[in-house]
Amino acid sequence: MVVATQKSFQRKLRLTTAGDFRQVFSKNLRISDSGITILVGAHTGSIPRIGFAIAKKQIKKAVQRNGLKRILRESFRINQHRLPARDLVVMVRKQILLSNSTQLRANLDKHWNNIINRCE
């Protein structure tokens, strides 16, 4: 039996407590464009962690919010091995709904590369 090696999105890769989010919001490096803002905070562990702050005020429908989170999680899961060991919080604005999923993935790749370059 052959077991495929897969990069998963385990609980240890997520920001789960309010304190984790508070720490990133209080002291961070901000990387943004018209639709996405990624806050990069410090992290003492050995792996990157991600959290999402997608407001109902910005993205009204739950289906759209959940779809965005699915795309964001998948992009993070694929790129997690390249990212520095930092805590990340992703926030979005209404303009993100104007882009399709291919454009969104390409935009996220630019953001991940920017984080890698700025945190070295």
Q: What is the pLDDT of residue 70?
A: 93
Q: Give the whole-angstrom CA distance, residue 97 versus residue 34.
A: 11
Question: Residue 83: left (phi > 0), alpha (psi -120 to 50), or beta?
Answer: beta
Domains detected in the chain:
11-114 (3.30.230.10)
Q: What is the model's pTM?
A: 0.86
The amino acid occupying position 93 is R
In the structure, how many helices (H) and strands (E) does the chain have?
3, 4
Half-sphere exposure of 51 (CA within 13 A, CB side): 20
- Which range of 1-10, 38-47, 82-91 scores highest in mean pLDDT? It is 82-91
CB-based contact 56:92 (threshold 8 Å)? no
Q: Which has the closest alpha carbon to 89: 16, 42, 17, 21?
A: 21
State the pLDDT confidence band at 8, using cuts at 50, 70 and 90.
low
